[in-house]
Amino acid sequence: MEKKDLFTHMQQLEDQVGGIHQYIGELKQEIVQLLEENKRLAIENQQLRKLLRRDPEPPEIVQEQEQTDKAVKEAPIVGEGYDNLARLYQEGFHICNVHYGHLRTEKDCLFCLSFLNK
């Protein structure tokens, strides 16, 4: 092989490696999206199963629950939003304004933790 052919061959290999690198990056993004969707669907599935498992309750219990629900609605629950965000973070989702709603692919997010600690 001549030097020029060797250089041309090396340039082609470099282009192929660049294309493979770009393709792997695209695959990573697609995997993250699929994982997020899978997690969301698993949570939705779990909630639907809980709804299906509930048994109809006797009328006395329903009336008592309605009375307690009215009392709860009258007194606002402090920190309910914070609890929901903490639960979402524990389930593996971002709650920070940078990546809100996306699945956390790594350990902890400093933005999310600083938001929780406010």
* Ligand-binding site membership of 21 (annotated): no
- Predicted pLDDT of residue 101: 78
Flag whether 96 is marked binding. yes
Is the pLDDT at 80 greater than 80? The verdict is no
Q: What is the pTM of this model?
A: 0.42
Taking a C-beta distance cutoff of 8 angstroms, is the pair 99, 109 a contact? yes
pLDDT at site 19 = 95
Q: Please check whether residues 77 and 46 belong to one and the same domain.
A: no
Is 99 labeled as ligand-binding? no
Looking at the predicted structure, is the pLDDT value of residue 56 above 60?
no
Per-residue model confidence (pLDDT) at position 75: 47
Same domain, 45 and 10: yes
Within a domain: residue 76?
A: yes
Query: Is 112 flagged in the annotation as binding?
Result: yes
Specify the pLDDT at position 76. Answer: 47
- State whether 45 and 76 are in the same domain: no
**91 and 43 Cβ atoms separated by less than 8 Å:** yes
The total of structural domains in the chain comes to 2
Q: Is there a contact between 103 and 93 (Cβ–Cβ < 8 Å)? A: yes
Where in the sequence is the domain holding 34, given as residue range(s)? 1-54
Domain match, 112 and 74 both: yes
Please write the tens of the pLDDT for every residue from 87-109.
888 888 888 877 787 787 777 88
